[in-house]
Amino acid sequence: MPDPGYGAPLKVLIIGGSGVFGSRLAKIAVRETGVALTLAGRRKDALKQAVAGLENPAEYLVLDRDRLVRADLVPFDIVVDAAGPFQASHNNVINAALAAGAAYIDLADGREFVAEFSRFDARAKEAGVLLITGASSIPALSHAIIDRMVEGWREIEAICIGIYPGNRAPRGRSVVEAILSYVGKPVRVFRDGGWKAMRGWGLTHQEDIPGVGKRWASICDTPEQDLLVSRYHPTRSAEFFAGLELGFLHLGLAGLSQLVRFNLLPSLRPFSAPMLWIAQRLLAFGSDRGAMTVQVEGCNARGRRLYKQAVLHANANRGPNVPVLAVVALIRRFRDSDIPEPGARVCSGILDLAEFEDLFAELGINLEFYERAIQSDVDYFSPLTQ
């Protein structure tokens, strides 16, 4: 790894560099001093176009994520897998990174993939390599926000996280596949003090988001449910919701989920291409205003019961930048030789919220905090005033 004097650039390979998230990551990371980027993917034309649109020079490399080998990764210090979907991912990139001695970072949101990531820990330590999964909005950013909100608390009762993109935000097929992989299927949710089976894209309701208004929300199957429980030990609930801005799209998907729920279809995932096509035809509708919410309830150090909410506003289609900011923060850590010990780790508790704040300012993303006292046991996640 280069020293903080930036004598030798940190060589970073972004797999999926022309995709929705990989291209956003490249546009931000290419501005970093002491970092040399290479964008990788299957399509040469898309890579050339992505590189041409960057502020500073970068390279591209035609590479098949599913067929890459050790030799492909040897030239690089860090390999970022921004391709996905991780719900069906195999371990090819990780194995090649370990063999090449390159650090590995991904944006994984596959629950099983993240839960089983620790199986690489022994090999990573033996190779002296750091492997990080989940360097994205959840859990990297969400946990950094929670850590600040509950600092000094004696007990956490409930946590609820939501992500609500604007309808005009660009979307890729891997994101659609990730959602459809669990829609209508049983999802383990920590609710009412224990684990319960809920249907993916169920528990549909509306959230009133400060500065945004009402958005539909449904339960998702992500690593966040498991990680929130293991890290924060809430006594009542830990839930993750997401919502589509257009009601007929959100409720339409909830309706289609019944085909899976009642075993009329094994999965909606094979329909990802036509569903993406429909969504793209409707990009002119809705807005470009996205939001992420983090709600917590519990007792502070003095035993006072509090409700807190953080709302991240990403307008003007800045929302797709949010999932890649943790990777930028980690790249900075590597560049500055501030690197965690080798091993395989989930990106929870690694980054502090302060490491995101200058990126928020640079990109025009706002994070606001709200707080109020809880007056009774029925006063739970209700509307609040700033």
- The full set of domains in the chain, from first to last, is 10-136+320-361 (3.40.50.720), 138-319+364-373 (3.30.360.10)
Q: In which residue are the tokens 């383990």 written?
A: 188
Question: Average pLDDT of the chain?
Answer: 93
Q: In which residue are the tokens 């990139």 written?
A: 93
Token digits for 16? Answer: 């999926």
Instruction: Supply the pLDDT for residue 217.
Output: 98
| 8 A C-beta contact, residue 235 and residue 312 | no
- Answer whether residue 383 shows pLDDT above 50: no
The CA angle 208-214-217, to the nearest 5 degrees, is: 85
Provide φ and ψ at 264, rounded to 5°: -80, -25
- Answer whether residue 382 shows pLDDT above 50: no
CA 14 vs. chain centroid, Å, equals 16
Instruction: Supply the pLDDT for residue 384.
Output: 37
Would you call 202 exposed, middle or buried from its count of C-beta atoms within 10 A (0-12, 13-18, 19+)?
middle
Instruction: Supply the pLDDT for residue 87.
Output: 54
How much is the average pLDDT of 321-349? 97
**CA–CA gap between residue 36 and residue 29 (Å, rounded):** 9
| 8 A C-beta contact, residue 132 and residue 114 | no
CA nearest neighbour of 202 among 239, 176, 155, 229: 239
CA nearest neighbour of 143 among 372, 352, 359, 355: 352
